[in-house]
Structure 1
């Protein structure tokens, strides 16, 4: 790990050690949601009880406050936890927090806002019951649709940790991070079937210094997606699949989007995903830049479209494919990418006609076509070589700058 990763790992360790020592010394204030009326029978609505427990913990002066969700299944219609708080907050989940069935149209299901010093910990689960609502997701056909709720939403959160928990079957995104700084997500499990619509594992936008570490994500959309304003993001040792891979974008869809800068994806595995490492931008007049991006040491296991830059991305009605993207993509490295591609086009670069890609680099790319029709190894390698030559010719035809580098 580099120095940034080591610093963040130390932060997680220090935070959790403090919490453990505090409990051993009786320093933590414990707020068991059952004492506020929560019933873990899988039927009773515990929304008010869990919010009352948080309010009491948040208003406790100084020290650390620990909210406990014990064993049991606690139904929560929606819960919004607003800070700022007077001390550190630990939200410890040992049981199951379960959503209501059906297409609840709230912005978020469990929402944390304006908290500096939050730890969401435990081996418990957030069950979004997404299977009861996915049929109501019509956003690809209806540009005026209303999104289903995100399972766990972090807004204006700083210096915080999410560790150990699981998110199951979210109605929309599993975890969304907005307008936040210095958050580490470590060792979480995210699970939904590959046909779950818009069920991104972790989505980040307008946030900086975010670390996603040592996690397993299986879902129906991007395992990790980084939108506009994502700065200094590390995705490290994440296993993804099924899903749509690890994506930056889509960018340029909305006015006044902030630049994307300092993205590192390192030591990850993508297995059976419909895309691999992807940068996608919308065909529009919105000008912004995505730069200083590194994808390194990534294993592809039977992955469609392992490496993609798509500057004509259009996932729903309401975009004009005749327009060209105004997003400048530059200073990008794909290094040490290896494994098997389920598509013959292992590297697919479609840059903007208006703002051509600049300083895109490939080093030590070793992707073999593992087609479905039982080709011999020699035939597979020949097909892949043909695909690489076609890519090079395509890059030449796009009149890209000379510093579009292919090494090894």
Structure 2
């Protein structure tokens, strides 16, 4: 396991020890390994090696927990990815290290600590069930590329609460294979907002359902509540609720983008992820652009049962107006500013 870090709490000295990044027997450093004892508490600072110290071909991840059941990491310490040189290297995101990865970690609890300046995304949750995340602080500069706060993929029953995130990419991204995700009282900004997706890349089959995002605040983000899918994929994004969202100077406050193409040139495809049963309710605040609501749905599938109500999004510049735009979007709207005349039944 290259460039991974073992953390050990020494109950005798009261210190958090960081074991050097190479292959070690954690039992030699105080771990019990009986599946019962809680050996991990994070109260100190964990600092990544500088970029020049990384060796080997795989630089895609730093701290990895794999197949660990019932893991809790609780404390007020800091994980520092020292990402500035990585961001300036022009390396692809997959060639820069994820800060902390949790793979197949059921009944996982993360609480209280700070995670900063990852080379790539900060916290990855994959193939896990029953995850509780609360009171985290995740930060990187707005200019730092691909530094998502928390990415969730192929996971279920994930609960994120009372967490502050400000990065150069999505604050939270919910990827394919995920269900029963609850996000409550998250503060996001700067960054790219709270996103479902991207889904359906490279013709893939992706599914996301039963997502609830409530009582969240977004400030200075490039997106607010976003669903993004590629052309050519399949699967679904359904039963999704965004409720009671406060916006301050957000570029795309409400966005469904079924033509997601970050590289600028993508060919038209004849298949698409199906988006349905999505509700945007209780959005209030300011947009930095005229298009406060954009529902760009697939020409093939369209979006169905899209509900918008109790929305008041005004332009951040007094006297300028906001508007809604739609393509092949079907659903209903209630009391909204701007009015959503483009939504069809």
TM-score by length of 2: 0.87
1:226 and 2:153 matched: no
1:237-281 Cα offsets, whole Å, 9 max, x none, are: 000000000000110004553410001000000001111110000
CA contact (8 A) 1:272 1:301 kept: yes
Name structure 2 gaps, 5 residues minimum. Answer: 1-7, 336-345
Distance in 1 (CA, whole Å) between partners of 2:246 and 2:90 is: 32
Report SS of the residue matched to 2:106. strand
More strand by share: 2
Using a 3 Å threshold, how does the CA distance of structure 1 residues 54 and 185 change in structure 2: closer, same or farther? farther
Cα distance in 1 for residues equivalent to 2:28 and 2:307:
50
Alignment counterpart, residue 111 of structure 2, candidates 155, 160, 163: 163
More helix by share: 1
Distance 1:183 1:62 in 2: 18
Contact persistence 2:173–2:195 (CA under 8 A): yes
Cα deviation 1:345-394 (Å, max 9, x = unaligned) = 100111000111011010111101013xxx4xxx33xx22xx24xx3xx4
Structure 1 alignment gaps of length 5 or more: 1-29, 67-90, 140-144
- Indicate conservation of the 8 Å contact 1:31/1:53, yes or no: no
- What are the Cα deviations for residues 294-334 of structure 1, in whole angstroms up to 9, with x where unaligned? 000000011111000001101137x6232355100000000
Segment of structure 1 superposing worse, 57-66 or 91-100? 57-66
Report how many aligned residue pairs link the two structures.
Answer: 323
Where in structure 2 are the equivalents of 1:5-404 lying within 5 Å?
31-32=9-10, 46-48=20-22, 52-53=25-26, 59-61=32-34, 63-66=36-39, 91-102=40-51, 104=54, 105-139=58-92, 146-284=94-232, 286-316=233-263, 320-323=266-269, 326-371=272-317, 375=318, 379-380=319-320, 383-384=321-322, 387-388=323-324, 391=325, 394-395=326-327, 398=328, 400-401=329-330, 404=331
Q: CA deviation at 1:134?
A: 0.6
Contact kept in structure 2, 1:233 and 1:262, CA below 8 Å: yes
Give SS of 1:236's match: strand
The DSSP-based 3-state class of the residue aligned with 1:134 is helix
Check conservation: 2:199, 2:206, Cα contact below 8 A: no
Deviation at 1:60, TM superposition (A): 3.7
Local SS of the residue matching 2:38: strand
1:75-117 superposed Cα distances (whole Å, 9 cap, x missing partner): xxxxxxxxxxxxxxxx211111111112744232000011111
Deviations 1:17-47 (A, max 9, x none): xxxxxxxxxxxxx852999xx977xxxx722
| C-alpha RMSD of matched pairs (Å) | 2.5
Query: Relative to structure 1, is the Cα distance of residues 325 and 189 closer, same or farther in structure 2, using a 3 angstrom cutoff?
Result: farther
Q: Alignment partner for residue 407 of structure 1, among 326, 330, 334?
A: 334
Larger Rg computed on CA atoms: 1
* TM-score, normalised relative to structure 1: 0.74
